[in-house]
Amino acid sequence: MALEAMNKAIKEYDEEQKIITECCVKFASFLKVNAILPFNDTIKDYIQMNINEEEKIAAITKDYTQVESLREQLRIYEKERSILESNLESGGAAPITPKDIKNLENKLIKLHHFGKSIKDLFEKTKKGREKQFM
């Protein structure tokens, strides 16, 4: 019974990770097209930074499970981003609009496991921007 619940939770977390990655790819593509400043792929950089940190830990513990998981996450992110950008460039996908971004935000905050944390991040980011321009 406990094993079934754990397997169910793992599956739910994996599904939510896929949704989060998909949204990150779309956010990054939107910013690349619409940013005033040159685009910097901070999502890719963030994953790579985590890989570097986990490699240091794994060198001591000899457990590379987390490193491999992060490398797989980076591979999936890069693959999905490449596919989306190719489709956007060839006209096979509609450009991502501000309305799409709002829909992605709503999709993320509705996630069962990570939604509340993501909602908190969005709210804190908005408050930070408001303070910056006051």
Is the residue at 35 inside a domain? yes
The DSSP code sequence of 2-52 is HHHHHHHHHHHHHHHHHHHHHHHHHHHHHHHHH-SSPP--HHHHHHHHHHH
Is the residue at 85 inside a domain? yes
Is the residue at 62 inside a domain? yes
pTM of the predicted model as reported, rounded to 2 decimal places: 0.68
pLDDT tens, 5-52?
A: 999 999 999 999 999 998 988 888 888 778 766 666 788 899 999 999
Tell me what pLDDT residue 37 has.
62
Q: Number of structural domains, the chain?
A: 1
Tell me what pLDDT residue 110 has.
97
